[in-house]
Amino acid sequence: MTEMTIPHLLKRAAFKYPDREAIVSEKGRWTHAQWDRNANRRAVVLAEHGIKKGDHVATIFLNGNEVLETFMALMKLGAVPVPLNVRFRGKELHYIVSHSDAKAIILAGEFEKVIREIKGDLPGATQYFFSGEKTPDDLIDFEALCKQASDAEPDVALKEDDIACILYTAGTTGRPKGVLLSHRNCVWASVNIAVDVDLRPEYGVLLVFPLYHVAAFMIVISNLFVSAANVTMRVFDPKRVMELLAEEKINRMTFPPTVWNFILQLPDLDRYDTSTVRSLSSGAEAMPLETKRRLLALFPNAGLGETYGMTESAGTITTLSPRYAMDKMASVGKPFMNVETRLVDEDGNDVPRGEVGEVLARGPNMMVGYYKDPDATAKTLKEGWLHTGDLGKLDDEGFLYIVDRKKDMIITGGENIFPREIEEVLYAHQKILEAAVIGLPDPEWGEKVHAVVALKDGETMTEEAVIEYTKEHIAGFKKPKSVEFVERLPRSAAGKVLKRVLRDRHDTKS
């Protein structure tokens, strides 16, 4: 019986569609067959240097053929890629390399400096493979060796339950956790996407998320599942995104709301040809309603879906079909084909429709657990259910609405306030670019509502104006008691607002 692993998906695509484009970058174009052969060459080199099944190998790359070939090479050997966040600095990278027990690092040339900062303090990582020009003498010239290597398929027995990768969470509540995803988790998540999302074999799909993020990882795996093309960008640039649409006839794009916002701020958007775009999606956090409306106007031939997921679910829990984009604008939809969900109260009892409860999810795409963290695993995975920490409610038709993060709920004067409701109001203001609402300690009320606002370029507002504006749209007890203006909100690499950072600022001030 064939084990449905990620390398098997590539092998199948290379057999069925050998000449179909699989990877497009600034450096060139590669078919599925070429991707497969190049991954084999990399696997041969890694095996010759002692990389074997079960080994953890850290990688740090921008998007392109090199990282896609390297990931597949590691997986063909049964080794486990640990993608490093390209925005992290020395101490942050050191923690993940050390915590993951990586025995080697494969790095692109532009990351030599930051890796050298930590290289001397990583006794577990004994080999450094360099992917770039002018390889330093003390690093292994990965690209030169790969060009000379055989393209024979590695003879390694892979199982669906083998670990495919360790993806570290954004660390929005503390230290990043290493999420163990098996091949089974990833393949079933790609099945979910292939069934419930507008993704077709002939599509060119834009890949801008770096591959340390579960959204990017699953874009690649789901594209591979249907044999669609990955059109990669090394660095996000909103203007370049819009130019690529016409150049590469892009059909599908996925971004978090904050990135869609950057695109929507471009001048003269009507001069770009968006006619080939058929499928838009958003994730990472809730998309403001005004952003949805503007995207549908900018891409008139495209459907707009919204996916709710997390690293622990291989990115897939629920999805909102484009046909409900206008009717269910604040919803994240219904569970993917192979996912079940529940909403429960503090005692674990199911809540009635219309009432708020924690979102639980179950399915073959849910993680194996957290690496070296049995306590956190036990708290998150209970009796087969993933406890997301998100609060949601269902409408009469079973559509899910995420109310807020459980830990972000504000209790003031005995009233429960969900920051997202206030943020939706703030985002609708024409002068406001982005906003976050947090609770701060208050001696009288327990907590007070505090808004952090970033204005659009050239705009001005006063604290009083923001507060008065919210009073027009929500109950008085929900309005912000204070407003703080910032240039931009702090965000994780996944695009999520770091409310922990916003709270910590005030803890420091007090």
Instruction: Provide DSSP, 119-137.
Output: HTT-TT--EEEEESSS--T
- For tokens 């909100």, name the residue: 489
- 8-state DSSP, 152: P
User: In 3-state terms, what secondary structure has residue 301?
Assistant: coil
Angle at 236 between CA 234 and CA 237, to 5 degrees: 120
Q: Which pLDDT score is estimated for 395?
A: 95
Q: Which pLDDT score is estimated for 89?
A: 84
Which structural domains are found in the chain, ordered by start? 30-158 (3.40.50.980), 187-405 (3.40.50.12780), 409-509 (3.30.300.30)
Report CA Rg, the chain. 23
- For tokens 């670990």, name the residue: 163
**What is the number of alpha carbons within 13 Å of residue 405 lying toward its C-beta?**
17
Contacts of 62 (CB under 8 A, 6+ apart): 86, 108, 110, 210, 234, 235
Structural tokens at position 393: 């409610």
User: What DSSP assignment string belongs to 13-37?
Assistant: HHHH-TTSEEEEETTEEEEHHHHHH
For residue 124, which amino acid is it? G
What dihedral do alpha carbons 242, 248, 254, 258 form, nearest 10°?
A: -20
Q: In this structure, are residues 67 and 59 in contact, taking their beta carbons and an 8 Å threshold?
A: yes
Chunk the chain into consecutive blocks of 10 residues (it has 510) and report each block's average pLDDT, rounded to whole numbers.
Answer: 92 96 96 98 98 98 96 98 90 93 97 94 95 93 96 96 93 75 98 96 93 92 97 93 94 87 89 95 74 90 92 95 85 95 94 94 98 96 94 94 75 71 87 90 80 92 92 82 91 72 69
CA distance 192 to 195: 5
Q: Which pLDDT score is estimated for 495?
A: 67
CA distance 493 to 96: 15
| Relative orientation angle of helices 112-119 and 90-99, to the nearest 10 degrees | 60
Q: In this structure, are residues 82 and 102 in contact, taking their beta carbons and an 8 Å threshold?
A: yes
Q: Which pLDDT score is estimated for 343?
A: 97
Q: Which pLDDT score is estimated for 418?
A: 72
Which residues are registered as beta bridge partners of 23? 30, 230
Pairing type for strands 482-485 and 446-455 reads parallel
Q: Which pLDDT score is estimated for 404?
A: 67
Q: How many helices (H) and strands (E) does the chain have?
A: 15, 27
Q: Which pLDDT score is estimated for 410?
A: 81
Which residues are registered as beta bridge partners of 205? 230, 252
Q: Please name the helix (run of DSSP H) or strand (run of DSSP E) that holds residue 416, with its range, or none.
A: strand 415-417
Which residues are registered as beta bridge partners of 447? 441
Q: Please name the helix (run of DSSP H) or strand (run of DSSP E) that holds residue 380, with its range, or none.
A: helix 374-380
Q: Which pLDDT score is estimated for 510?
A: 45
CA distances (Å), origin 59, targets 106, 123, 221, 402? 5, 17, 18, 34
